[in-house]
Structure 1
Amino acid sequence: MGDLITADTPGLLAVAFLVGIVIGLTGMGGGALMTPALIFLGIPPTAAVANDLVAAAVNKSVGAAVHYKHGSPNLRLAMWLILGSVPTAFAGAWIIAATGEPEDQQAFVKKAIGVALLLAASTLTMRIYLEMRRGDYTDDGRPDPAVRPLPTFLVGALGGLLVGLTSVGSGSLIMISLLLLYPTLSARRLVGTDLVQAIPLVLSAAISHVMVSGMDWAILLPLIIGGSPGTFLGARLAGFVSQSILRRGIAIVLALTGLGLLKVPPVWVGIIGAAMAILGPVVWGLIKHAHGRRAFIHVPIGRREPKPSPVTVPPDEDLR
């Protein structure tokens, strides 16, 4: 029992619970937040990826169970994603093992995670913009768009490889690709489809990492024990939190963490972070204004930002 409870256990429980809340709230952010957090707690990068993947297989199932009945997944679309992602996700651990000695593997994974976090921050920012631009397509009985097998398969393959190498990508790269490929698919069905395909993807990556490098129960158990209730709580609170503000904050955190893992000098990371925090809301407000939305609006907790009226408003009418 003493081997399972270590000095790192309280920190692992707290990090897993907080990251679990984010997963439940947004359906993303698991590997993108958990893996670098484990590295900063002193866990070797390869062990962080392996144990995070195993824990994610459990925690994502909890989130999927809560969201599933509301998600209405497109199973044919999910099938093509799974066909592409499962084999490449399984190959991730073997690719890492082929990079050389353990020290070389740690350095490779750390750089790969840094690049993946910057990619995740970029795709998340694009996702926020596209969702704002297109509005929230509701499931009003309209037929789903025709599935495009080859592009969907390739998206799954690339996303699976990224997850297999870094545990980052199942909720960022794949989701933004779905938004670009199927812009008329409702947000509800997008989330449901992403949740369905993510479970076999993460399971495949987790199995390969356990086969290659094993797992550490002293790390894994706190991630599951802390992450599962956090994910459940986040999923239940999802309707009461502004998704836009939360995702913009996550994008900033991912970008700064990626820069840190790529060994960008801390001074520059601080300068970039301050610029993003100060100028980010201003730029976002200008973008919203350019698309006919109020640039700055207070949305009370429990309510969503109002959508633009489908009725054309005369230019001289005061919007209140």
Structure 2
Amino acid sequence: MGDLITADTPGLLAVAFLIGIVVGLTGMGGGALMTPALIFLGIPPTAAVANDLTAAAINKTVGAAVHYKHGSPNLKLAKWLIIGSVPTSFAGAWIIQAIGADADQQAFVKKAIGVALLLTAVTFSLRIYLEMRRGFQDDPDRPDPVVRPLPTLAVGAIGGLLVGMTSVGSGSLIMISLLLLYPTLSARKLVGTDLVQAIPLVLSAAISHMIVSGIDWEILLPLIIGGSPGTFVGARLAAYTSQSILRRGIAIVLTLTGLGLLKLPPVWVGILGAAMVILGPVVWGLVKHAHGRPAFQHFGAGKRSPESQHISKGN
């Protein structure tokens, strides 16, 4: 037991709990937040990826079981995503190992995570825009769209490779791709499909990292123990919190964190962050106004529509 409880345990529990709250509040995938947080805590990038993937494999199984019970996933669509993602996600750890020396591996993974975070920030912002354009009318009983095997297979393969090397993107990148490929798929089925396909994807990536580099129980257990209650608390608070402000905040955090991992000078990161905080709401207000929606939302207007609730659970 002494080996499992270290000086880093309180910090890991706190970070897992806080990120769990953010996940519960917004539905944002934990990998995009947890992996860089672990790196900033001093965990080597490869260990951060391996342990975060293992924790995610456990957490996503619970969410997917709920959606499967209610019959929401499109299993044919999930099948093609899985066929594409499982082999490439399994290859992620072996690609990292093939780079060479440990120092080179750590540097490569750190840069890859930085790029993945920037990509996630862009796709997350695009997803917010598409949800705004799509509106809040959602019919879970509408007929499923015709599945397009080859594009769906490609989405799974690219998403799987990204997750296998960085643990980032299993929700954000694949979800936005599904929104673009299948705009008529109901929100509930979109979330259920994404969660179901994410189980074998993340599990495959986690197993490959276990084989190649192993896992650290002193890191993994706090992630699971701290993350679950945090997610529960966040989900309870979600109805009382402004989703628009939170999501814009997450997009900013992902962007600045990605730039930091790519070693952009801190001065420029600070300038860019300030510009995004000040100008971001104005730009978003103009975009909403151009689509005939209220430009600015009152603070405290945190009650979400049924569709946004369904969609946010699967990020």
Q: TM-score range by the shorter chain?
A: over 0.9
Describe the shift of the 1:232–1:70 C-alpha distance in structure 2 as closer, same or farther (beyond 3 A): farther
AA at the equivalent of 2:134:
R
Task: Please tell me whether the aligned partners of residues 139 and 186 of structure 1 are also in contact (alpha carbons under 8 angstroms).
Answer: yes
Q: Does 1:47 align with 2:74?
A: no
Pairing 1:28-39 to 2, within 5 Å after superposition? 28-39=28-39
Task: Please tell me whether the aligned partners of residues 62 and 232 of structure 1 are also in contact (alpha carbons under 8 angstroms).
Answer: no
Describe the shift of the 1:241–1:54 C-alpha distance in structure 2 as closer, same or farther (beyond 3 A): same
* Residue deviations 1:149-193 (CA, integer Å, cap 9, x gap): 110111000000000000000011101100100111122221111
Describe the shift of the 1:35–1:137 C-alpha distance in structure 2 as closer, same or farther (beyond 3 A): same
Task: Please tell me whether the aligned partners of residues 238 and 302 of structure 2 are also in contact (alpha carbons under 8 angstroms).
Answer: no
Task: Please tell me whether the aligned partners of residues 19 and 33 of structure 2 are also in contact (alpha carbons under 8 angstroms).
Answer: yes
Task: Please tell me whether the aligned partners of residues 121 and 252 of structure 1 are also in contact (alpha carbons under 8 angstroms).
Answer: yes
1:52 and 1:304 map into 2 onto residues whose CA distance is 29
Q: In the TM superposition, what is the alpha-carbon distance from 1:17 to its structure 2 partner?
A: 1.3
Residue equivalent to 2:195 = 195
AA at the equivalent of 1:181:
L
Give the gaps of 5 or more residues in structure 1. Answer: 308-320
AA at the equivalent of 2:59:
N
Q: Does 1:100 align with 2:100?
A: yes
Deviates more, 1:57-66 or 1:104-113: 57-66
Residue equivalent to 1:225 = 225
Residue equivalent to 2:161 = 161
Pairing 1:1-320 to 2, within 5 Å after superposition? 1-65=1-65, 72-298=72-298, 300-301=300-301, 303-304=303-304
1:179 and 1:58 map into 2 onto residues whose CA distance is 25
State the SS of the aligned residue for 1:22.
helix
2:238 and 2:77 map into 1 onto residues whose CA distance is 25
Name the TM-score, length of structure 2 as normaliser.
0.92
Q: In the TM superposition, what is the alpha-carbon distance from 1:248 to its structure 2 partner?
A: 1.4
State the SS of the aligned residue for 1:269.
helix
Q: In the TM superposition, what is the alpha-carbon distance from 1:111 to its structure 2 partner?
A: 0.4
State the SS of the aligned residue for 1:252.
helix
Deviates more, 1:116-125 or 1:178-187: 178-187
1:244 and 1:83 map into 2 onto residues whose CA distance is 35
Deviates more, 1:297-306 or 1:137-146: 297-306
Q: In the TM superposition, what is the alpha-carbon distance from 1:56 to its structure 2 partner?
A: 0.9
AA at the equivalent of 2:46:
T
Describe the shift of the 1:72–1:264 C-alpha distance in structure 2 as closer, same or farther (beyond 3 A): same
Greater CA radius of gyration, 1 or 2? 1
Q: In the TM superposition, what is the alpha-carbon distance from 1:292 to its structure 2 partner?
A: 0.1
- Number of residues of Structure 1 aligned to a counterpart in Structure 2: 307
Describe the shift of the 1:234–1:76 C-alpha distance in structure 2 as closer, same or farther (beyond 3 A): farther
Describe the shift of the 1:257–1:188 C-alpha distance in structure 2 as closer, same or farther (beyond 3 A): same
2:279 and 2:69 map into 1 onto residues whose CA distance is 39
Task: Please tell me whether the aligned partners of residues 163 and 170 of structure 1 are also in contact (alpha carbons under 8 angstroms).
Answer: yes
2:71 and 2:108 map into 1 onto residues whose CA distance is 37
* Residue deviations 1:32-86 (CA, integer Å, cap 9, x gap): 1000000000000000000110011112223334555568111111111111111
The CA RMSD over aligned residues, in Å, is 1.9
Task: Please tell me whether the aligned partners of residues 13 and 225 of structure 1 are also in contact (alpha carbons under 8 angstroms).
Answer: yes
1:288 and 1:69 map into 2 onto residues whose CA distance is 36
Task: Please tell me whether the aligned partners of residues 62 and 231 of structure 1 are also in contact (alpha carbons under 8 angstroms).
Answer: no
2:156 and 2:8 map into 1 onto residues whose CA distance is 35
Identity among equivalent pairs (%) = 83
1:237 and 1:107 map into 2 onto residues whose CA distance is 38
* Residue deviations 1:262-292 (CA, integer Å, cap 9, x gap): 0000000000000001100000000000000
Describe the shift of the 1:71–1:171 C-alpha distance in structure 2 as closer, same or farther (beyond 3 A): farther
Q: In the TM superposition, what is the alpha-carbon distance from 1:238 to its structure 2 partner?
A: 4.2
AA at the equivalent of 1:263:
K
Describe the shift of the 1:302–1:258 C-alpha distance in structure 2 as closer, same or farther (beyond 3 A): closer
Structure 1 stretches of 4+ moved >4 Å: 65-71, 236-240
AA at the equivalent of 1:255:
T
1:224 and 1:134 map into 2 onto residues whose CA distance is 35
State the SS of the aligned residue for 2:249.
helix
Name the TM-score, length of structure 1 as normaliser.
0.91
